[in-house]
């Protein structure tokens, strides 16, 4: 029962969220120190999939921003502002643009602009089917295999356009929660972003393991069929 599941998760997150955040920060600091001592080269910042069907940008948001997004999602969940997704068990979501007074804050707006700079989407029309989304999946939940193609008669349908989406990884304590695009699990971690052609690529997740939720913030645009993912431009991280 969704409400019972939500209640169980509330009790866990109240006691574990602060520990999880501090633990993540400590782990990151330890990893950074070890990398410095071993003089290891930094991993590639941008990773492309076969045929550029998808792209991962490492460290798209800071740890401080990730924590703020985590608190935002948890607050919406506790207020029952994330709705059960009928497409699968343990899935809760909200379309932020349906009720911007509840879901849209300055950080979400700032990250929307950052996504547009990073993905070279300035001036490109936003997707109107899903728009900006908040997704929270509880342990045991999963995303069924599907595409987000535009369909005639669907509200927001844009004939002749493809649906490009990107997602910011807010909470991913277990690798079972990684997105699977065209059969490949993407190499994402907390703070990363992945972008892909949701209307053309089959995507899903396997059942989430562990005790922590999977949380992502999603964004979408309507792009021409010949649109291609490209490496982010220089200085895309600088606010304007």
Task: Read off the pLDDT of each residue in 209-226 and give the average, rounded to a whole number.
Answer: 97
**Mean of the per-residue pLDDT values of the chain:** 86
> Which of 156, 182, 165, 150 lies closest to 216, judged by CA?
165
* Sign of the four-CA dihedral 58, 60, 66, 70: negative
Average pLDDT over residues 184-191: 97
| Alpha carbon of residue 19 to chain centroid | 22
Identify which of 121, 118, 128, 134 has the alpha carbon closest to the alpha carbon of residue 57: 118
pLDDT band per the 50, 70, 90 thresholds, residue 34: very low
Q: What is the pTM of this model?
A: 0.84
- At residue 36 the predicted structure's pLDDT band, cuts being 50, 70 and 90, is very low
Question: What are the backbone angles phi and psi of residue 185, rounded to the nearest 5°?
Answer: -75, 125
pLDDT over 70 at 215, yes or no: yes
Mean pLDDT in residue range 12-29: 47
Distance (Å) of CA 16 to CA 43, 107, 111: 30, 24, 26
What is the tens place of the pLDDT at every residue in 79-96? 999 999 988 889 999 999
**How confident is the model at residue 164, as a pLDDT?**
97
Closest CA to 144 of 180, 173, 196, 185: 180
Closest CA to 131 of 181, 159, 165: 165
Weakest-pLDDT range from 39-48, 124-133, 170-179 = 39-48
Has residue 220 got a pLDDT over 60? yes
Task: Note the Cα 65 to chain centre separation in Å.
Answer: 13
**Order of strands across the sheet with 133-137?**
46-48, 54-57, 193-197, 162-171, 214-223, 133-137, 91-95, 83-84
**pLDDT exceeds cutoff 50 at 33:** no
User: pLDDT value at position 234?
Assistant: 86
Of the candidate ranges 71-85, 151-165, 179-193, 196-210, the one whose mean pLDDT is the lowest? 151-165
């Amino acid at each position: 029962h969704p409400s019972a599941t939500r209640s169980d998760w509330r009790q866990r997150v109240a006691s574990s969220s602060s520990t999880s955040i501090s633990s993540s920060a400590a782990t990151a600091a330890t990893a950074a120190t070890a990398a410095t001592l071993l003089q290891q080269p930094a991993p590639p910042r941008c990773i492309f999939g076969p045929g550029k069907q998808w792209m991962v940008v490492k460290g798209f948001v800071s740890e401080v921003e990730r924590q703020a997004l985590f608190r935002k999602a948890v607050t919406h969940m506790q207020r029952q502002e994330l709705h059960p997704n009928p497409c699968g068990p343990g899935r809760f979501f909200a379309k932020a643009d349906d009720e911007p007074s509840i879901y849209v804050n300055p950080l979400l707006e700032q990250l929307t602009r950052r996504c547009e700079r990073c993905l070279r989407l300035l001036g490109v029309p936003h997707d109107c089917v899903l728009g900006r989304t908040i997704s929270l999946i509880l342990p045991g939940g999963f995303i069924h295999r599907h595409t987000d193609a535009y369909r005639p008669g669907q509200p927001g349908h844009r004939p002749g356009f493809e649906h490009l989406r990107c997602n910011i990884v807010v909470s991913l304590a277990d690798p079972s929660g990684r997105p699977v695009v065209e059969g490949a699990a993407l190499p994402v971690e907390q703070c990363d972003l992945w972008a892909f052609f949701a209307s053309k690529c089959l995507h899903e997740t396997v059942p989430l393991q562990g005790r922590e939720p999977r949380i992502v913030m999603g964004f979408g645009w309507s792009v021409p069929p010949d649109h291609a993912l490209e490496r982010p431009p220089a200085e895309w991280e600088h606010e304007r």
